[in-house]
Structure formats: structure tokens, C-alpha cells
């Protein structure tokens, strides 16, 4: 067993898990944060995407111990006080998802992009989502939602997540 201490969505967590535990298993099986999905389990689909230390990772490929001491952001941490994060809101308004299985990963990939690049081109959004496989959509509405969220976040540079609604552009 390994002792791990990390921050998940701003909350400090300390626990012991078997050595081989992946970060995805830590989130889903030990902490019951089931937003990140187990799709392929081998790094191909992006359904398990979360942000660790500011970088997007496939949590199925990362051992939990590798996140020791780091800040982990998951889809569960985006909505605040009952209000969707602007990225989530834009995806909802654009009906960018169908079955939704890929959604948490796609949204975390979008967040990782916009955290680094607040004004991405369509090609940069395509590149950022290239590791997220979606069986249902053609990605067009996801890209529109990413642009809309980027516009909103730039227009509200303090990143307020509260009662303001995303404005359709």
C-alpha cells in the first residue's frame, strides 16, 4: 500500500491505495468521482481526461502515486454553487454532446486549452480535442461551444462562474 496526499478540486485528500492503483481508479473507485470515464484504458480515447498540476492527462495511464502532492482538477470541480462552468454551459446551450460518455473528458480538454490559450483558433481547438474520441457527434458543436466559452471567459476576465449566463454570439 502507498500513502498518497493530493488536492482534488481544492480539497486535500490523504489515503492509502495499492501500489498499482491508477489515478482513474483512485478517482472512481476510492473517491466515487465518476465523471472521468474508463473507456479504452490504454490512452486512446480521452474519456478519462483530468488536469494534474495544470496539465491534461489520461488518468487511466497515470499511477495514483504520480499525482502525490499535486492538484487534480476533475469535471466535478467545475460547477460552483449550483452554476455550471461557462464551458459546461456553452456545451449545454449548443447541445454539443449526445450520449455524453465522452463529455467529461472533452470538457476537461477544453478547459486545459482555455487555461493556457484564452483565444484559440478553430485548428487549435481541433488539436486540443484530438485525443478525445466521440462516437456520436461530428465535433462541430463542440468546437462552437469552445469558441463561445472562450469568448465568455475573455469578456469576464475574472472567470466568474456565478450567476452570469453565457451569451450566444
Kindly tell me which residue out of 52, 67, 87, 134 binds ligand FES, with binding defined by CB under 6 A.
Answer: 134
Distance CA(76)–CA(167), nearest Å, equals 23
Q: Which is nearer to ligand FES, 62 or 149 (CB)?
A: 62
3, β-bridge pairs: 16
Residue number with CB closer to ligand FES (137 or 156): 137
Rule CB under 6 A: is residue 135 a binding residue for ligand FES? yes
Minimum distance, C-beta of residue 36 to ligand FES, in the bound complex (Å): 8
- Rounded CA separation 132/46 (Å): 4
Q: Write down the least CB distance from residue 10 to ligand FES, Å.
A: 24
Number of residues this chain uses to bind ligand FES (CB under 6 A):
22
Residue number, 25 or 161, with CB nearest to ligand FES: 25
* Closest to ligand FES by CB, 49 or 151: 49
Specify the 3-state DSSP secondary structure of 65: helix
Closest CA to 23 of 58, 53, 63: 63
Q: Which of residues 47-106 bind ligand FES (CB under 6 A)?
A: 47-48, 58, 60, 97-102
Beta bridge partners of 96: none
CB of 49 to ligand FES, least distance (A): 7
Q: Would you mind telling me the total number of residues written for the chain in this entry?
A: 169
Q: Which is nearer to ligand FES, 66 or 137 (CB)?
A: 137
Q: Residue 21 in contact with residue 60, Cβ under 8 Å? A: no
> What gap in Å lies between CA 64 and CA 5, rounded to an integer?
10
Report the site for ligand FES in 108-127 (rule: CB under 6 A): none
Phi, psi values for residue 83, rounded to 5°: -110, 130
* 3-state SS class at 103: helix
Residues engaged in binding ligand FES (CB under 6 A): 38-41, 43-48, 58, 60, 97-102, 134-137
Amino acid at each position: 500500500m502507498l500513502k498518497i496526499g493530493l488536492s482534488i478540486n481544492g480539497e486535500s485528500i490523504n489515503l492509502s491505495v495499492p501500489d498499482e492503483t491508477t489515478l482513474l481508479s483512485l478517482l472512481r473507485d476510492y473517491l466515487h468521482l465518476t465523471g472521468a470515464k474508463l473507456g479504452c484504458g490504454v490512452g486512446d480515447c480521452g474519456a478519462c481526461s483530468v488536469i494534474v498540476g495544470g496539465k491534461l492527462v489520461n488518468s487511466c495511464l497515470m499511477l495514483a502515486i504520480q499525482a502525490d502532492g499535486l492538484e487534480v482538477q476533475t469535471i466535478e470541480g467545475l460547477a460552483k454553487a449550483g452554476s455550471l462552468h461557462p464551458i459546461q454551459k456553452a456545451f449545454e446551450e449548443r447541445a454539443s454532446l449526445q450520449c455524453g460518455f465522452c463529455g467529461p473528458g472533452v470538457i476537461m480538454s477544453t478547459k486545459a486549452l482555455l487555461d493556457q490559450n484564452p483565444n484559440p483558433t478553430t485548428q487549435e481547438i481541433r488539436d486540443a480535442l484530438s485525443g478525445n474520441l466521440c462516437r456520436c457527434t461530428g465535433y462541430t458543436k463542440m468546437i462552437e461551444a469552445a469558441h463561445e466559452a472562450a469568448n465568455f471567459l475573455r469578456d469576464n476576465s475574472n472567470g466568474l462562474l456565478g450567476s452570469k449566463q453565457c451569451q450566444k454570439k
